[in-house]
């Protein structure tokens, strides 16, 4: 059993880590805002209003932030398996806070948040985040990594669902099907003629099939 001194040290280290994360996120937030503004103003040469609803420009901004802030120096990589980010992937608390900064940019410029764009911004492989969600690494589905990544996925899904239900966005509907397993219920199409009641496609097909089976009329005697 750990003695009291060890327990106090553990608590103190945890408090230091929390404070470091708070300090780091403020630094990162300011730098992310700086490079976002730099991309809009100096690279694209457009106004912030022109960024709204511009998906390609937003994706470019994510890449710009990554290149200037999160891209790892190849000389500093310890092994070939290390990802291309300078972030400590063990520090899920910081990554979770960076997600909140990222989604803040999304909502400002009316862009649906996605794990894919977040992965581009911070330089983490999208497949890596998927393994966190599935719990195949990082301690299973009850781990801090899995809980955080599931929250990101849930927020992404929620934004798409709002777009599909409130604006009937075809793009949102497609993304829900492709990324989140949504499926539309089959709809019965009925045909109405001027003199008959509504008929389904199956009823119409059966009616014409029955008519094809009727015997041909005999030729009249001349």
> How many residues are given for the chain?
222
Tens digit of pLDDT for each residue in 26-66? Answer: 899 999 999 999 999 999 999 999 999 899 999 999 999 99
Cα–Cα distance list, 196 to 1, 103, 199, 215 (Å): 84, 55, 8, 25
DSSP 168-208: --HHHHHHHHHHH---PPP---EE--SSS--EEHHHHHHHH
Q: Which residues of the chain have pLDDT under 70?
A: 1-23, 76-83, 166, 168, 174, 184-222
Asked if 127 and 182 count as a contact pair (C-beta separation under 8 A), the reply is no
pLDDT at site 89:
92
Model pTM? 0.69
What 3 state SS string does 30-78 have? HHHHHHHHHHHHHHHCCCHHHHCCCHHHHHHHHHHHHHHHHECCHHHCC
């Amino acid at each position: 059993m750990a003695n009291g001194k060890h327990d106090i040290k553990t608590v103190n280290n945890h408090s230091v880590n929390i404070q470091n994360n708070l300090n780091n996120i403020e630094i990162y937030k300011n730098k992310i805002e700086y490079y976002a503004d730099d991309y809009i103003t100096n690279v694209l040469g457009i106004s912030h209003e022109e960024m709204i609803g511009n998906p390609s420009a937003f994706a470019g901004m994510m890449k710009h932030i990554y290149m200037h802030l999160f891209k790892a120096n190849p000389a500093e990589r310890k092994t070939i398996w290390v990802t291309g980010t300078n972030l400590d992937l063990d520090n899920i608390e910081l990554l979770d806070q960076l997600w909140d900064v990222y989604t803040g940019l999304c909502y400002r410029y009316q862009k649906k948040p996605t794990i894919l764009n977040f992965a581009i911004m911070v330089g983490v492989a999208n497949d890596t985040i998927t393994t966190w969600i599935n719990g195949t690494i990082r301690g299973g589905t009850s781990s801090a990594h899995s809980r955080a990544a599931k929250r990101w996925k849930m927020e992404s899904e929620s934004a798409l669902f709002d777009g599909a239900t409130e604006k009937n966005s075809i793009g949102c509907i497609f993304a829900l099907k492709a990324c989140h397993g949504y499926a539309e219920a089959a709809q019965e199409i009925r045909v109405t003629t001027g003199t008959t009641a509504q008929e389904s496609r199956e009823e119409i097909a059966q009616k014409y099939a029955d008519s094809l089976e009727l015997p041909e009329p005999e030729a009249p005697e001349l």
